[in-house]
Structure 1
Amino acid sequence: MIKSFASKVQKLSTNLNIIRILKLIGTASKKWMLISILFILIESALFYASIYLIKLLVDTLSKHGANNLKDEPMVVNLLLLAALSAILYVSVKAISAYIIEKQAAKVAEYVDDKIHRSAIALDLSFYESPEYFDILKRARDMGSDRPNLIVATMVDIAKNSVMLILIGSMLVSIDWRLFPILALFVIPTLWVRINFADIQNVLRLSQTALERKSGYMSSLITSDIHAKEIRGFGLGHYIRKKYVAIRLELLEGRLKISRQRTFKEIMTSSIATLGFFSCIAYIAIGSIRGTTSVGDIALFFIAFPQSFTILQNLSSGISTLYQNNIFVKSLFELFDLKSNLPEPAQPLPLPTAQQVDLELKQVNFIYPHATKPTLSNISLKLPAGKIVAIVGSNGAGKSTLMKLLCRLYDPTSGEITLDDKNIRNFSSTDYHKQICAVFQDFGKYNLSVADNIRFGDIHSLSRKPEEIVEAARNSGTDMFVDKFPEGYDTVMGRIFEDGHEVSIGQWQKLAIARAFYSNSRFIILDEATSALDARSEQELFDSLRERIGNRAALIISHRQSAVKHADYIYMLTEGCISESGTHEELLALKGTYYQLFNSKAGTT
């Protein structure tokens, strides 16, 4: 068992990475960490002093007798000092608890912010990976209370360790065998707790995917995203039953371990209690035989239960800390993740010319964990001042191409150039400002209309409110925003109070307004008019053509009405460019473009 216990301790230090946790706490609240250490030492010293003064008081009374008036001043002084140290002890303990709470709160806020910073820094590939979501789930499961618990537990372990040394020295002064015997009886309980904490952590790891699945089922029932379909198809109770089945499976796994742990803790706690009373019996017999002083007996009956409690608290604290190792480890796993899109050591400055082209040259792309290329040998150009279109059926690779242009992924081979310079040589932050994309699954932000539009150029501090109105006018958003009582301050959606829901077509116009508000050189619209009526779509493209200037626009669609007025069109078929030319030239070829848009298929 000793070898197994040592193995658990070694695993504890490896998994928890104590040094790194201390650095994290120090970074989050260095001042409060130092203050809490100081108060731990003061609190422990006062606790030791109050007990030792009581021992001296009992020794004085037993040595000279309670009726000896000559020793009355000494007795009174000892009483006063003991009372004062006790008062100071409880006062310092209360202040220490506040300090720990404040330190833990600062650590919690720091960890929460660092999780968000880490998530923001990662590229899109992580958000298409189940492994990443497992790590993120475990890291976020720390919640706001987990850092507090870790800080408080580590402080308690430090405090109990200091007190154990002080009180242990008292017990050793009575009889050196008392403390080792007591510790020996408490170790089995600690071993059982650490062992089952390890088992629970393994279970948590294996249950992460199921936990995420249950969370997804819960969100289907409670969120507004699928509310219409769930009620329309009567799916609520079916999904609820699946959710309950998953939760019961998770619960059964945890309860099975809890039953085993409870049984073994009863056994080890009984052993520890037996050791406790064995030590009491040893002292009691010693007092009868006159080998122990009255002061030592008083000290024993004060210090011994305290030391037993401290050892139990240490056991509980270490096992609690060990239990949290899966969350701490996942937290550091998240912090250690790095973007797959490397940043140049010395980024090139962005081109300053008025007319700049964006070009793909022999680009190939395979998604991570995939074997089949999604795009093969793609070469196309977005010239300044032109509208280019990409057409293709569903699954042809249009949205993937858009992700590459936005540098959400890098090509597997080939290159994308801006003004004949590989975009990898620019800072990704600078490059992203050159592209404004309206995705097919565009964001619907439950914030004000003004914020929804301002997100197109959120980093600029010199933009005027009138420019928001102009972007809304150019996209047709003003047609419904002007009817709102609060105008551009109206909160969109129904999640928050006073929110205003609109149709999907109006949401789409709002997303397009973001693109018009942007100062980017390139606008990419991915099926961005799919929810617009024919008139709104025509007005949008007329507006785009009129205001394009030196910017370039890329229209991605499978609708003829959205692409026929483009200056140049590329036909994408199964990840390859099969045809290219103007609308009239492609129709004349009577190839895949013609087949997609011929009169039999319709010209939507």
Structure 2
Amino acid sequence: MNDHTTTTASVPGPRTPELPPPPERVRAVPADGDLGGQITQGYWETFEGEASRTGLVTIARRLPAIVVQVWGTAWRADARAAVLVAVLQLVSAAMVSAGLIASLGILQKVFAGGATGERIRAALPALAVVAVLLMLRGLVDAGISHWQARLGPRVRQQLEADFLALTSRIELAAVDDPTWADEVRRANDRGLYYAKESVNKTIELASAVLALLGAAGVLGVLHPVLLVLLLAAVVPKGAASVHSIRAGYLSAVRQSTLRRRMLQFSWVLFERDTAPELRASNAQQALLDEHRALSARITDEEVALGEHQSRAALLGRALGGLGMFATYAALAWMLGAGWMPLATGGAAYLAIQASQSALLRLVIAGHQVFEHALWVEDLKRFEESCRARLPRTGAPAPAAVKEIEVRDVHFTYPQGKQALRGVSLTLEAGRRYAFVGANGSGKSTLSRILAGLYEPTEGTVRWDGTDVRRFDAASLTGRVALVLQDPGHWPLSALANITIGSGNITTADPDRVMRAVRATGADRVIADLDHQWDTVLSPQFEGGAELSDGNWSKIACARALNDDDAPLLVMDEPTASMDPLAEDRLFRAVLDEYAGPDTITVLVSHRLAPAVACDQVLVFDQGRIVEAGSHRELIALGGTYAEMFETQAAAYRSNR
């Protein structure tokens, strides 16, 4: 199609299957099979792999790596706060050990021989040491709380920045994938929250470990058997907690799609965009019933989860109680048998109490860190998958292009729908092209491939002979001025809605912006706003404005035309919501003012009036180009285009 008058015979596309009548019973959401399996199966039995196999030994082995990963994030967020928290934790733990040793000295003095007054006076120095240690430890703990409070928000900021930087740049085909939609929702709702919380829980874990080392060290010196018995008392509780945490995690992962669907029903019940039609159609009760049905399924699962977790906790506490009874029984037997002096027994009791408290804190904090780590690892896996799907990097795309060659391009969406089947064409600078055809024929998909938003499944796109896959993807899209069928309604000022098309919302070129808004009619839209350029284009903000679809289209077109240095201008159904006069004015401005000798202009439209003024019209049907040529050539051909044009023209000539 290098010459300017090429025409091709109509090529039949795949046969469209006949649609059967709908069932009488409407299904608003997919069946269980689309929600991740049978909901009646035990959620703790449905997953295999790392999470479902994790036990106490595995947790103990993985915790150090988890702590290192979490503190790596904390270091990047605020290195000074992270270091100070760690140092103060060590100081606090040392004070716990010193306090126990001082307490042993107090008991030895109190239970020694001699008059009561002399024994008390002898214990006073050790009492003073304990008092000072308690006061200093209170100050140290306050310092830990202070720096921990500074660290948490900075960790959240760092995590969110990293997350949004990835998700906003991932290739468009990934965003179209429903699996990605579940994963990004889960990562945003759970992963980011638990990643931030994991810093605090890791601090608690470190505090418990250090306190336990101090107390258990003292207890081990007094008698090692007591330390072994104490471990036997705490381990069952830890095992029960790990089992409960794992069950909760697997249940939440399993319900991810179901919860997302329920949230969508929640949003349509209170979102501004759906509010008018919701009330006009009296659909509230139908949507509430559907929300209630989805919520009931989640509630049943949560109730079953709670019952399962309570049974596991009961068993763990029962076994732990037996272990604690054995510990105190052993201590009593040692005292009665004379194996241990009374003062040492008192110190052992204090050490047992301190060790038990530290162990319980360790179990709780360890389990929470592990639970959070499951979600953090889920977040990290998601971020790694995003990195694998980031747009390619390479050489900068050229600032000008004379010819774009599309050769045998196929494209299939993630859901499996094939949108393009062997499309080939050549676009030349200074020429204007119209893509026309029925809905779903592939013209919008090809326009997105030309704009660099999609990569072909098969085939190539070349700019002046160079495969675009050799160019940096961001550089390529930056060379394209694009208007989409459904443009973004940015909740920004009117001016920022124009300049954002060039990646900027803080500065503007006044002359360029005025030229763009005048060409599209957006100047009159903005002039009627209360604060004109400064008006926020969202009614959900004070002083904001709500635009009609037609006016949003004018803003979107001005956004594209503001980037008048782009060598490729693609306008995908830009006037579908405009009145005929606004549409005619826009296309005249585009074709007369912006479609210059150095610009390749592509117009995608159902309405064929703009096609008349284009140099070449390409007719799409079920993923193929079935006709190509000028308006006059295609009318003379008497094929699909001629039939479409005559149908639209007849509607205006009709006397009905």
Superposition TM-score, scaled by structure 2 size: 0.85
Which digits, 9 at most, give the CA deviation of each residue in 1:4-35, with x for residues without a partner? 99844326756996254443343334433322
Distance 1:506 1:339, change over 3 A: farther
Which digits, 9 at most, give the CA deviation of each residue in 1:555-591, with x for residues without a partner? 0011112322112111111111111111111111110
Q: Which moved more, 1:258-267 or 1:550-559?
A: 258-267
Q: Which moved more, 1:214-223 or 1:324-333?
A: 324-333
352, 363, 369: which one aligns with 2:409: 363
SS at match of 2:530: coil
In structure 2, the residue matched to 1:10 is 58
The 2-side partners of 1:280 and 1:599 are apart by 94
Q: Which amino acid aligns with 2:479?
A: Q
Distance 1:137 1:54, change over 3 A: same
8 Å CA contact 1:276–1:308 kept in 2: the answer is no
The 2-side partners of 1:270 and 1:33 are apart by 39
8 Å CA contact 2:496–2:505 kept in 1: the answer is no
The 1-side partners of 2:458 and 2:206 are apart by 55
In structure 1, the residue matched to 2:521 is 476
Q: Which moved more, 1:563-572 or 1:275-284?
A: 275-284
The 2-side partners of 1:153 and 1:473 are apart by 57
SS at match of 1:376: strand
Q: Which amino acid aligns with 1:359?
A: E
Which digits, 9 at most, give the CA deviation of each residue in 1:343-381, with x for residues without a partner? 35x51x44355x6332322322223352x6421232223
Q: Which moved more, 1:439-448 or 1:12-21?
A: 12-21
Q: State the Cα distance separating 1:276 from its structure 2 match.
A: 2.4
8 Å CA contact 1:182–1:272 kept in 2: the answer is no
In structure 1, the residue matched to 2:238 is 190
SS at match of 1:417: strand
Report whether the alignment pairs 1:422 with 2:467.
yes
SS at match of 2:190: coil
In structure 2, the residue matched to 1:37 is 86
Report whether the alignment pairs 1:453 with 2:453.
no
Distance 1:229 1:368, change over 3 A: same
Distance 1:442 1:468, change over 3 A: same
In structure 2, the residue matched to 1:511 is 556
223, 229, 252: which one aligns with 1:175: 223
SS at match of 1:400: helix
Q: State the Cα distance separating 1:129 from its structure 2 match.
A: 1.0
Q: Which amino acid aligns with 2:140?
A: V
Q: Which moved more, 1:373-382 or 1:580-589?
A: 373-382
Q: State the Cα distance separating 1:154 from its structure 2 match.
A: 1.7
Matches within 5 A, 1:293-332: 293-332=341-380
Give the number of equivalent residue pairs. Answer: 596
In structure 2, the residue matched to 1:242 is 290
Q: Which moved more, 1:276-285 or 1:7-16?
A: 7-16
8 Å CA contact 2:100–2:215 kept in 1: the answer is no
Matches within 5 A, 1:338-417: 338-340=387-389, 343-344=392-393, 346-347=394-395, 349-351=396-398, 356-370=402-416, 373-417=418-462
In structure 1, the residue matched to 2:488 is 443
Which digits, 9 at most, give the CA deviation of each residue in 1:361-415, with x for residues without a partner? 2322223352x64212322233222221011011110111011111122112221
Matches within 5 A, 1:92-171: 92-142=140-190, 145-171=193-219
The 2-side partners of 1:286 and 1:14 are apart by 38
The 1-side partners of 2:346 and 2:237 are apart by 28
The 2-side partners of 1:398 and 1:600 are apart by 19
The 2-side partners of 1:554 and 1:150 are apart by 51
Report whether the alignment pairs 1:528 with 2:574.
yes
Q: Which has the higher contact order (CA 8 A, sep 6+)?
A: 2
Q: Which amino acid aligns with 2:599?
A: R
The 2-side partners of 1:35 and 1:184 are apart by 34
Runs of 5+ unmatched residues, structure 2: 1-51
The 2-side partners of 1:145 and 1:445 are apart by 26
Q: State the Cα distance separating 1:78 from its structure 2 match.
A: 2.0
27, 30, 47: which one aligns with 2:76: 27
The 2-side partners of 1:378 and 1:341 are apart by 26
The 2-side partners of 1:571 and 1:68 are apart by 107
8 Å CA contact 1:53–1:82 kept in 2: the answer is yes
SS at match of 2:426: strand
In structure 1, the residue matched to 2:43 is none
Report whether the alignment pairs 1:564 with 2:590.
no
Which digits, 9 at most, give the CA deviation of each residue in 1:211-244, with x for residues without a partner? 1111111111121222222111111221122112
SS at match of 2:298: helix
Q: Which amino acid aligns with 2:468?
A: I
Runs of 5+ unmatched residues, structure 1: none
84, 92, 101: which one aligns with 1:52: 101
8 Å CA contact 2:249–2:371 kept in 1: the answer is yes
Identity score, percent: 24
The 2-side partners of 1:189 and 1:221 are apart by 44
Q: Which amino acid aligns with 2:645?
A: F
The 2-side partners of 1:15 and 1:430 are apart by 42
Which digits, 9 at most, give the CA deviation of each residue in 1:446-505, with x for residues without a partner? 211001001121259884233222211111011121122311111112121111112110
Q: Which amino acid aligns with 1:27?
A: R
Distance 1:310 1:316, change over 3 A: same
The 2-side partners of 1:88 and 1:462 are apart by 54
SS at match of 1:566: coil
8 Å CA contact 1:16–1:328 kept in 2: the answer is no
Which digits, 9 at most, give the CA deviation of each residue in 1:244-294, with x for residues without a partner? 221221122122121122133223213323332443343344445544334
8 Å CA contact 1:192–1:264 kept in 2: the answer is yes
Distance 1:600 1:425, change over 3 A: closer
Which digits, 9 at most, give the CA deviation of each residue in 1:312-345, with x for residues without a partner? 222222222232343112201121023546635x
Distance 1:137 1:419, change over 3 A: same
Q: State the Cα distance separating 1:196 from its structure 2 match.
A: 2.1
8 Å CA contact 1:364–1:413 kept in 2: the answer is yes
SS at match of 1:48: helix
The 2-side partners of 1:486 and 1:460 are apart by 17
Q: Which amino acid aligns with 1:181?
A: L
517, 523, 540: which one aligns with 1:495: 540
Q: Which amino acid aligns with 1:102?
A: R
